Chain A
């Protein structure tokens, strides 16, 4: 009794993230070492930065007083390009993504088709849209067509993968049931598979419209058409009030797309 009463009250310590003390110190040292190396390799031209502050102020002023009018015809042209590109690429991409997604689902497709479709998906996903856009611009010339193809490819990469993963997760009992009634391949797809994945596909398509518009606002920088080209020109000329107007329009449309796609996804989910 006496001994217990006299022993100090146990103090609880929160457990360490890494139990081993030496490992902990090594990791911390490695992180600090990397940070030192990384930060020392960033060379900053401070005179240029100071010079830039005036531009930053003008940019900020531009946001307070955006100039929609003096470049309006360019902005309008860019917007129409971006929006039409988004619609066409989404429609075309979905039309292609559906069969590829079906083919890439292991529970429906034969092994060879599964392999081919998964390879197509991997290829479509492996490069950034911007890089794809550069290559397409080199092949198809400047303009919206190259952008349309870029967005279509990224739509295929994103949608087919998710559709395939969804199809692989469907309830096999329904497929079995339709098959048991003597349903053929297309009837199985129509009544057992499509009815299970359609809500998800609709939701993903709405999300893809959102993504495609965002992307369409940057691929113009490398010449693939759209509002990005207009923005690039405005910034090259240091017309910050026009650039601010374009950015505000992009933000507004992105928000609109996001809310619309969120609403559709909630509706169908």
Chain B
């Protein structure tokens, strides 16, 4: 905030000092310049005829999608069940691995701040920074296409997410309760079981359910890289340009996601 005194002696209020104003102007200019530059590089190879044609293409595609081929639904129950299993089993495996990892990564429960904690954090960060689809690509190359690759891809991706949120929850616990349990002569296992675990249980349950919901979404597309589930049906329908089947699959994915969101909301309300 700056007040300047004008030639007539009156005070003028401004939000920013002239210096601040100059810097802001410069910042905006730099941002615009970067954006324009990026735009030019990005669109260098764009074929504008396709873009101009897009509304027509969109009308065409949606025209072909309608009506959805309802009779195809019979073939989708099995892939949908696979998708559900990929998400659920993947989440379970991730929980089993991420829980000890969270305790190793939290500053107040790790056995060694200098060595174990950085290692656990490294695993968490590495798992988080690779998308489930990329994990899927890798695992399909290694294990071959199928549900197993999908489950492990989801698990590997979720470990980092669950581990990170869990160790943050552990670091935020109330120390006096831990202290109290320890004062009764409890060993480390009992401290965790009676002093720490009850405190993080609500957070833990919310994190797990939240991740399951995300995993349902992610597992619907894993089939695009060959890792099983309804995405496989989507891929083959796309490849054969069977648009009425594509629209049915998209509807199915959408309703699965809506149902999983509803379940998540219910469970979360029950926990908190």
| B221 adjacent to A88 (CB under 8 Å) | no
Give the docked Cα–Cα distance between A38 and B134 (Å): 24
| A42 adjacent to B147 (CB under 8 Å) | yes
Q: How far is the CB of B14 from chain A (nearest CB, A)?
A: 13
Q: How far is the CB of B266 from chain A (nearest CB, A)?
A: 15
| B39 adjacent to A141 (CB under 8 Å) | no
Q: Does B85 contact A (CB under 8 A)?
A: yes
With beta carbons under 8 angstroms apart, the residue of B39, B134, B194 that contacts A247 is: B134
| A217 adjacent to B131 (CB under 8 Å) | yes
Q: How far is the CB of A104 from chain B (nearest CB, A)?
A: 19
Instruction: Determine the chain A residues whose CB is within 8 A of the CB of B194 once the complex forms.
Output: 14
With beta carbons under 8 angstroms apart, the residue of A139, A235, A255 that contacts B61 is: A139
Instruction: Determine the chain B residues whose CB is within 8 A of the CB of A138 once the complex forms.
Output: 57, 61
Give the docked Cα–Cα distance between A20 and B194 (Å): 22
Q: How far is the CB of B193 from chain A (nearest CB, A)?
A: 9
- Please judge, given known A-B contacts A85-B42, A138-B61, A140-B54, whether A255 and B130 are in contact too, CB under 8 Å: no
Interface residues of B in 79-133 (CB under 8 A from A): 81-82, 84-85, 88-89, 125-126, 129-131, 133
| A231 adjacent to B137 (CB under 8 Å) | yes
| A38 adjacent to B89 (CB under 8 Å) | yes
| B137 adjacent to A140 (CB under 8 Å) | no
**Chain A interface size range:** 35 or more
Instruction: Determine the chain B residues whose CB is within 8 A of the CB of A140 once the complex forms.
Output: 50-51, 54, 57
**Chain B interface size range:** 35 or more
**Chain B, 184-228, contact with A by CB distance < 8 Å: what is the 0/1 string?**
000000000010000000000000000000000110110011000
- Please judge, given known A-B contacts A88-B35, A131-B253, A251-B129, whether A42 and B89 are in contact too, CB under 8 Å: yes
Q: Does A241 contact B (CB under 8 A)?
A: no
| A80 adjacent to B47 (CB under 8 Å) | no
Q: How far is the CB of B214 from chain A (nearest CB, A)?
A: 10
Q: Does B138 contact A (CB under 8 A)?
A: yes
Q: Does B155 contact A (CB under 8 A)?
A: no
Give the docked Cα–Cα distance between A135 and B39 (Å): 22
- Please judge, given known A-B contacts A134-B238, A247-B134, A255-B129, whether A59 and B142 are in contact too, CB under 8 Å: yes
Q: Does B250 contact A (CB under 8 A)?
A: yes
21 A-B pairs with CB atoms under 8 Å apart are A41-B85, A41-B147, A44-B148, A49-B143, A52-B143, A88-B35, A128-B220, A128-B221, A130-B133, A140-B51, A143-B45, A143-B47, A214-B129, A214-B131, A218-B134, A221-B137, A221-B225, A228-B133, A247-B134, A254-B129, A255-B129
List 8 tightest A-B contacts by C-beta distance, closest first: A48-B144, A141-B50, A84-B42, A84-B38, A87-B38, A254-B129, A38-B85, A52-B142
| A residues neighboring B (CB under 8 Å) | 14, 34, 38-39, 41-45, 48-49, 51-53, 55-56, 59, 80-81, 83-85, 87-88, 91, 126-128, 130-131, 134-135, 138-141, 143-145, 148, 214-215, 217-218, 221-222, 228, 231-232, 235, 238, 240, 243, 247, 250-251, 254-255, 258
